[in-house]
Structure 1
């Protein structure tokens, strides 16, 4: 497929690329796979069959004129030959502009069935017959104002006014008496009436039967139509990949037998396109080097720094390369990859009684059971849904198993800085971090991946960027400072909302004792000012 995409790229010319000519020929092609499936189920509509017929004509031209030196493309073109007789059947049987549904009539083309053509002729020639009959009856009876007419209640009739009733022939049979006229029916008119009134119903029934016959004749062609549909879809995809690779400056990946994922200046195609649309700046490309010596990257750094984007871009590049596409990178070398396993994001499945954390652990378990040394594993913030030490312990166990047992290529993003000690014990793991710069209490995200662990997570700074109220940020900074001071203590969990213990009177200072005896709600402004001076005096002593 990669060779086919490269062949469709041509020499890079924007005006004479082979993919452009092929795309022009594919314009107007219908969804053959969908139409074929509906035909097999006998649920296809007339207009879909018209689209199928036109598509088969285009496919025949492609199969006849398509010459591809690349073997894979040549094989695709060989599958574009329509089934014998299928195109001709659709052309003869289905009207070029049929009704939406068979029950509406006007679906089967004229000339396909003689009986249907005769029934339609009766309907279309009805007025002509009535005018001809009226002319003949006037000449035969000598009644100048004789009229041959029709209504939905009484059907066809010959109307004669009362002044000419003496001229009515014997073969006229009275059908209705009016105030000034009589209405009659003749054997000839009765026969025509029976035929005309039933012609529409019979024509619809005949069309339905003929349509079913057409579907019967298409059934043996379903397998070949399915292959043709796949060939058309493959050509369309290859053209799109060739166009994207030229427009977005993608490179051809190189496949090698040794295990590795080596990407130079890799980019996330979706984020890059979004940045181009919003003029938010250029995308920061990053390198990836995973091989036999380095199988795991422990990635740390601030939220919004680009950890998840980096992990996803590596997976996307591997996926694009595996499907035969060029990739958004300066260069790319890939060894064998049998699967891409991901544990990214936070979600739940409450309908099946699975909490967010349970779903996270379920997916992690599936990865640990299914991943192989040729797999790419993405683990993003595993262990967040439980207590700090539970999550840290689980994340450490999962990372160790992936490194020691599974030995898959792993990108392991985490905010547990304790995990940055893993590479010191695991010889195939390294620390990486996304860079950030502090400017006072603010943070500048650089989105650049660098060796080594991050120094901190910058969560409060990112919360400020998100618009969290200032009092909340102030409280968080003080709580963080308290936690950092108590990190070395034996207390496992710190309650940020616990009420501080009251000072013991025995060890209280004079200021604390005086402060404990003050009740602000009971003080007048003058008393409050005096109490403040007293406290200041005690503090000075």
Structure 2
């Protein structure tokens, strides 16, 4: 409806689109009446007046503009041509002049058949035919065998190998009338269609309102249907800042698993509040860290827009924004690498987030060297915890960051559980559990992905050597210690001279001399 109303305003709408609009208006009227009746019945059961709710407002806005549907029904054929220039658009009975011109066209066949019968009887030529083509118009065709019986009033129009084509004064008069009627009927239809668009301009604003009401009702119906079908719960909103989700689920992943028969979705709890504002999430690749983070954001977003949520229970405090840094992609068009894009988004989050924001950081710092990435990840986590104080889900493969909660009292470790069998196969449990993960299982995931066995074996051998070397290394560096205070630079000669000046006791000439002196000192420096 919105697209069609915009095309009406631009006078670019096609006839079949207007017929579709008529059908939509009829259904919108039916939906509006049913919605209003349902609201009245609900109010009657509760012995109250019908509330001025969003639904009652939508029911009013769904009422079609007065006279719009009736105008379109009377003006257009039920199945019009695709384009006005083809004719066959305006309905019968809408315009008397158009009906008269159409009658001339429609009676053309009967007139030609009657003329053909009369001419055969008059001339005695049994194979005489009256026909039409776009090049020569109407004509009477006589074969060579009957040319000796052609009357004197026949005028030759075309000569063929085995026949002659003629025109008579009567047929010529009918041709002029019929062909002009067709052209005039098409011109009349175009003029009437333009007039119809003029009348529809008054309804454009009302049609736009109806389109928005239909879109809103469609969104509400979709959310209501999902809530009932998938057993979503009503979120509870409280004044104190918190995010408490019990048995939360990701609706898209859950639906996809049900569609493919991949098993049941594993729900997880999320508890963030004054005592625990940041979760450091570790665990194997493909374990479900990103899905867990996304489901928290989706639940918070659905609750904020007024929907039920895919969880057993949900309790939310005030939220002003959801900031995410998830995924890895470069921006070649703007000459930004994956890491540059990652840092740009992280900077935007650090500048914009507030204590009432939800922040999702997924493996920040992975696009650069290990030491650089680890240093940046630890600094960003510290800033989010100490300065921003936003609710933060911080997923990482840097196990050094699992020491973060030891020095930050509002942070805690959680991990996505997994189990490794004796055959070194890994089983992802997708369950969020307290504490840090013991390892990332990257080699096992590579084996599942089909990496050649020789490569996997070499990687496993290298991993064991690296872990042994790491265990014998020196004590870990304190990543979360505050940076040392910057050294205070010595004041320059210009600054010393400027500090000694008292502008209140200087005359204009002395002030000018001081200015020249300061400039001289600056040049010497």
Fold shared by both chains (TM-score > 0.5): yes
Distance 1:129 1:235, change over 3 A: same
Q: Distance in 1 between matches of 2:71 and 2:348?
A: 52
| Residue of structure 2 equivalent to 1:109 | 91
Distance 1:407 1:41, change over 3 A: farther
Q: Distance in 2 between matches of 1:424 and 1:180?
A: 107
Q: Distance in 1 between matches of 2:254 and 2:141?
A: 82
Q: Is the 8 A contact 1:156 1:185 kept in 2?
A: no
Q: How many matched pairs? A: 454
Q: What RMSD in Å do the two structures reach over aligned CA positions?
A: 2.7
Q: Distance in 2 between matches of 1:175 and 1:221?
A: 57
Q: Distance in 1 between matches of 2:288 and 2:315?
A: 23
1:389 and 2:371 aligned? yes
1:266 and 2:248 aligned? yes
* 1:416, distance to aligned residue in structure 2 (A): 0.9
| Residue of structure 2 equivalent to 1:198 | 180
| Residue of structure 2 equivalent to 1:149 | 130
* 1:319, distance to aligned residue in structure 2 (A): 1.6
* 1:36, distance to aligned residue in structure 2 (A): 1.8
Distance 1:427 1:158, change over 3 A: same
Q: Is the 8 A contact 2:287 2:417 kept in 1?
A: yes
Q: Distance in 2 between matches of 1:61 and 1:467?
A: 57
Q: Deviations over 1:144-175 (max 9, x none)?
A: 5596724334433467865556x75xxx4734
| Residue of structure 2 equivalent to 1:529 | none
* 1:81, distance to aligned residue in structure 2 (A): 1.1
Q: Is the 8 A contact 2:235 2:315 kept in 1?
A: yes
Q: Quick one: which of 235, 256, 263 aligns to 1:253?
A: 235
Q: Quick one: which of 301, 309, 312 aligns to 1:330?
A: 312
| Residue of structure 2 equivalent to 1:77 | 59
1:462 and 2:481 aligned? no
| Residue of structure 2 equivalent to 1:398 | 380
Distance 1:156 1:290, change over 3 A: same
| Residue of structure 1 equivalent to 2:262 | 280
Q: Quick one: which of 35, 38, 44 aligns to 1:66?
A: 35
TM (normalized to structure 1)? 0.77
* 1:231, distance to aligned residue in structure 2 (A): 1.2
* 1:269, distance to aligned residue in structure 2 (A): 1.5
| Residue of structure 1 equivalent to 2:279 | 297
Q: Quick one: which of 400, 412, 430 aligns to 1:447?
A: 430
| 3-state SS of paired residue (2:397) | coil
Q: Is the 8 A contact 1:148 1:156 kept in 2?
A: no
Q: Quick one: which of 300, 311, 326 aligns to 2:293?
A: 311
* 1:208, distance to aligned residue in structure 2 (A): 2.5
Q: Distance in 2 between matches of 1:78 and 1:309?
A: 41
Q: Quick one: which of 61, 70, 74 aligns to 1:92?
A: 74
| Residue of structure 1 equivalent to 2:208 | 226
Q: Distance in 2 between matches of 1:104 and 1:491?
A: 85
* 1:313, distance to aligned residue in structure 2 (A): 0.8
Gaps of 5+ in 2: 44-50, 477-525
Q: Quick one: which of 462, 468, 490 aligns to 1:485?
A: 468
* 1:127, distance to aligned residue in structure 2 (A): 1.9
1:34 and 2:3 aligned? yes
TM (normalized to structure 2)? 0.80
* 1:256, distance to aligned residue in structure 2 (A): 1.9
1:129 and 2:111 aligned? yes
Distance 1:434 1:197, change over 3 A: same
Distance 1:310 1:177, change over 3 A: closer
* 1:136, distance to aligned residue in structure 2 (A): 7.0
Q: Which moved more, 1:452-461 or 1:197-206?
A: 197-206
Q: Which moved more, 1:90-99 or 1:60-69?
A: 60-69
1:342 and 2:324 aligned? yes
Alignment map for 1:358-507 (pairs within 5 Å): 358-440=340-422, 441-487=424-470, 489=473
Q: Distance in 1 between matches of 2:466 and 2:120?
A: 113
* 1:254, distance to aligned residue in structure 2 (A): 1.3
| Residue of structure 1 equivalent to 2:522 | none
Q: Distance in 1 between matches of 2:190 and 2:264?
A: 61
Q: Distance in 1 between matches of 2:65 and 2:276?
A: 53
| 3-state SS of paired residue (2:416) | strand
* 1:489, distance to aligned residue in structure 2 (A): 4.6
Gaps of 5+ in 1: 1-31, 493-541
* 1:434, distance to aligned residue in structure 2 (A): 1.3
| 3-state SS of paired residue (2:89) | coil
Q: Is the 8 A contact 1:259 1:336 kept in 2?
A: yes
Q: Is the 8 A contact 1:130 1:148 kept in 2?
A: no
Q: Distance in 2 between matches of 1:270 and 1:334?
A: 22
Q: Is the 8 A contact 2:139 2:167 kept in 1?
A: yes
